[in-house]
Structure 1
Amino acid sequence: MNLAKLCATRAAQGRPVTAGLIGAGKFGSMFLAQVPHVEGLEVAAIADLDPERARAACREVGWGESRIAATRFVANGAELAATDGVEVVIEATGHPRAGIRHAQAAIDAGRHVVMVNVEADVLAGPVLARRAAQAGVVYSMAFGDQPALVCEMVDWAQSNGFRVVAAGKGTKYLPAYHEVTPDAVWEHYGLTAEEARTAGMNPQMFNSFLDGTKSAIEAAAIANATGLSVPDDGLAFPPCGTDDLAHVLRPREVGGLLDRPGMVEVVSSLERDGRPVFRDLRWGVYVVIEAQSDYAAACFRQYGLPTDATGRYAAMYRPFHMIGLELATSVLSAALRGEATGAPVGFHASVAAIAKRDLGPGDRLDGEGGYTVWGRVMPAKRAARDEVLPIGLAQGITLRRAVAKGEALRFADVEIAEDEAVRLYRDCLALAGTSGAHRGA
């Protein structure tokens, strides 16, 4: 029985699936817009630092006053996580430390967790997923966001006996974007600062998409959930359209750019001179597979799959993702099937904080998308060996010593308290390379 029918059956029994949303931003609002149209799904509570803003968001997406009146609005995410009648807690704040606190509170209260907050997931997800399993609840990535969609494609490929050569997403990228700060972000989106302010757009958040940090975070999440590896020196962001995926994203030994099969990579929708690539994948996701036999390779050709010149490597892709509009899939899967739409199986990748400019003692780091650092994905073993500071902890802390532009920051470079987020990250480092199978090769 599919999720919609399972949910409708529960509704007919007077037991709708009940969710609690933490963070009424764009992702959360898109989810709220669909809730009235999913039979058997209810939102019992919404937590936001500004509950009135959350109420306004509900009105903006079309909720009636009776639905709003029946919903509990609170300012504290941990309070929501413990609210009676909530089955599934959706963490959509985007703040790593807050996300970790809220997820742990939900697990302690016996609630399923859907982690929209990828920043928190790459910092502590492997440990949180283990704790959730021990508590008998689901810890899940968010369907509609690119990492969970990639996980679905990888699972499809592996379930059908194909070798996964590469998997990932598309984005808009040029090498110079690593240095962009919030002051210059809007010109890259074709907006004025005033237009962005009027629309309520956060320049630091949007800059994290532009400067490569968000792509690194999402690549790490994919690696940790699939067992695929990440490039040793960070994402290459090769310019690549959908027609060229199977040619570009294959091992170097057969003419591609990958160091080895079974890797996560993000492709760019722009050539190095800034021109768009043909049939770009800016909003989409992909998987490149290899036929395990001549017969399967022949079938690729017979059924129209886009392949490389050898015919053995083929690409499947989805040209879009709909973020919060698709989130109910994760909520219903957790509540009705007890299944995650992607979850960490190990700690294979971390995201290092890299200096955007020369930094000196006393400089205060401002985190993802800011003025001081950007995020570069790296193998977790290397992050553990070099005691590299992850981007998720590189906010609101002060440098002890100088770090040159382009260098990775280390724990020894900063003043940082040993709080719960730091402890969970160190617990993840202890798992590096010891859990979850590499299933690409």
Structure 2
Amino acid sequence: MNLSRMLLQRENDGDPVRVGIIGCGKFGAMYLSQARLTKGVHVVGIADLNVARAKETLAHIGWEPERFAASSFDEAEKSRSTFVTEDSAALINNGGLDVLIEATGDPAAGIRHCLSAINHGLHVVMVNVEADVVAGPLLARKAELAGVVYSLAWGDQPALIAEHVDWARTCGFTVVSAGKGTRYLPTFHQSTPETVWDHFGWDLEVVKRGRLNPKMFNSFLDGTKSGIEMSAVCNATGLTPQPDGLAFPPCSRFDLAEVCKPAAFGGTLTHSGTTEVVSSLNRDGSEVPGHLQYGTYVVIEGETDYARYCFEEYQMLPDSSFRFASLYRPTHMIGLELGVSVASAALRKEPTGSPVTFNSDVVATAKRDLKEGEVLDGEGGFCVWGKQTPARRSLDEGYLPLGLAQHVKLKRAVPEGAPLRWGDVDIDSDDDAVKVRREMEAMFAAPNA
């Protein structure tokens, strides 16, 4: 709870935390809107493939023109301004950073940037959870060996859920389940960028004002982002996925302990110590009253009669038996909160969540009947969605990770609903992301790796 004071001290000492960010999309823009107001933080550089668009975004979020007028990294450091460039390698290599934020959303790019940052002694805040679920356990291990921090992004739901789990365990509770809310119906697995706004429930003016990317937001709707985020949570906390992945039961924020407990106790889960995402919609499409669409939660077990009495006495959102109780956060502020990760990494050398094991994977699953010769278009697209799957099963069956299901051609047809396998696609074994993934599989395939 002292991060703001520590940052203020850095400001007063004239030694702010020096930050670079790659990717000036929605998440990056949200962080940058607050970074300009945070004492003790200096955004030295921003790398984006479209510099003109990045600068227009900075103006849109409230940055004064002089704040991003630097013509070089040296000028940016001397003037406490920001240099905007398309050269991500130059940003990492310039030698003036403490923390790199990777916010591209591209798994291959994220892995490449992360490895380079680690090699240059930088702490990494991995907004790019798509990269994290492809190779995060390996990246975190490499960061640890190099003496730097690899961190999930505070404000994004995986880091917040990991904090819920840490809170529960620190208090001596058994974690029964942890997760988040979303808007879900089974038919959404077939959603495409062309249909996403029909299902999302947002006015098109909100979409336009927010400059929202239909492909990215479709990944939230079609179940992919839920699979990605819950896999990140499992790998950061040691929780294990359910055998068939997420079931998305309809649930209000007040019924979490009743619904998200094991079936043996009247709930919906296959076992204790897992993840689940609850839907804000009933299966008939009606809205669940008091839903948790944008929030996060944890369900705990009271293992003594005394603890259960306390659940009842203090109205700790218990189930009907008072054996289980829940804690929830009603919303999350995405990039607006990312400064917590930056400060924690730079000042405390602590991540806000980091993968420690490989328990869960995200498997590319056919949205429709796919034909031989089709080129897959990745997360949120027209071809596949990402399903949470136990890592052991994914490895044993040779399933294709969702993060590698982009710009690759199908060698054979795959029916709707079927998981794709490595052998179904033309994979470039020399691709850096593929090699890192294979290295991660080899390192963590053995039990207790």
Provide the residue aligned with 1:250 in structure 2. 261
**Given the alignment of the two structures, is residue 43 of structure 1 paired with residue 56 of structure 2, yes or no?**
no
Q: Deviations over 1:191-249 (max 9, x none)?
A: 68798567533221111111000111001000000000111112100000011100011
Provide the residue aligned with 1:17 in structure 2. 17
Shift of 1:95: 0.5
What amino acid is aligned across from residue 42 of structure 1 in structure 2?
H
Provide the residue aligned with 2:189 in structure 1. 178
Q: Deviations over 1:68-92 (max 9, x none)?
A: 1221111122221222211100000
Distance 2:162 2:178 in 1: 9
Q: Deviations over 1:124-157 (max 9, x none)?
A: 1000000000111000000000000000000000
Distance 1:383 1:415 in 2: 18
Pairing 1:260-279 to 2, within 5 Å after superposition: 260-279=271-290
Shift of 1:56: 1.6
- The equivalent position to 1:362 in structure 2, one of 370, 373, 377, is 373
- The equivalent position to 1:325 in structure 2, one of 336, 339, 350, is 336
Question: What RMSD over aligned residues (CA atoms) do the two structures have, in Å?
Answer: 1.5
What amino acid is aligned across from residue 322 of structure 1 in structure 2?
M
Q: 3-state DSSP class of the match of 1:242?
A: coil
- The equivalent position to 1:103 in structure 2, one of 92, 104, 114, is 114
**Does the Cα contact within 8 Å between 1:346 and 1:434 map onto a contact in 2?**
no
Distance 1:412 1:298 in 2: 55
Q: 3-state DSSP class of the match of 2:254?
A: helix
TM-score, length basis structure 1: 0.96
**Does the Cα contact within 8 Å between 1:381 and 1:433 map onto a contact in 2?**
no
**Does the Cα contact within 8 Å between 1:346 and 1:433 map onto a contact in 2?**
no
**Given the alignment of the two structures, is residue 399 of structure 1 paired with residue 397 of structure 2, yes or no?**
no
Runs of 4+ in 1 over 4 A off after TM superposition: 190-199
Q: Deviations over 1:103-144 (max 9, x none)?
A: 111101100000000100000100000000011100000000
Q: 3-state DSSP class of the match of 1:37?
A: coil
Q: 3-state DSSP class of the match of 1:305?
A: coil
**Given the alignment of the two structures, is residue 417 of structure 1 paired with residue 431 of structure 2, yes or no?**
no
Provide the residue aligned with 1:210 in structure 2. 221
Distance 1:435 1:44 in 2: 40
Distance 1:139 1:211 in 2: 28
Name which of structure 1's ranges 160-169 and 203-212 shifts more when overlaid on structure 2.
203-212
Distance 2:323 2:436 in 1: 42
Provide the residue aligned with 1:57 in structure 2. 57
Pairing 1:130-141 to 2, within 5 Å after superposition: 130-141=141-152
What amino acid is aligned across from residue 93 of structure 1 in structure 2?
T
**Does the Cα contact within 8 Å between 1:18 and 1:42 map onto a contact in 2?**
yes
Name which of structure 1's ranges 46-55 and 164-173 shifts more when overlaid on structure 2.
46-55
Distance 2:206 2:410 in 1: 35
Shift of 1:6: 0.6
Gaps of 5+ in 2: 70-80
Shift of 1:185: 1.4
Q: 3-state DSSP class of the match of 2:281?
A: coil
Distance 1:160 1:139 in 2: 25
Pairing 1:279-294 to 2, within 5 Å after superposition: 279-294=290-305
Provide the residue aligned with 1:381 in structure 2. 392
What amino acid is aligned across from residue 235 of structure 1 in structure 2?
L
Give the length in aligned residue pairs. 436
TM-score, length basis structure 2: 0.94
- The equivalent position to 1:428 in structure 2, one of 440, 443, 446, is 440
Name which of structure 1's ranges 14-23 and 415-424 shifts more when overlaid on structure 2.
415-424
**Does the Cα contact within 8 Å between 2:183 and 2:200 map onto a contact in 1?**
no
Q: 3-state DSSP class of the match of 1:243?
A: coil
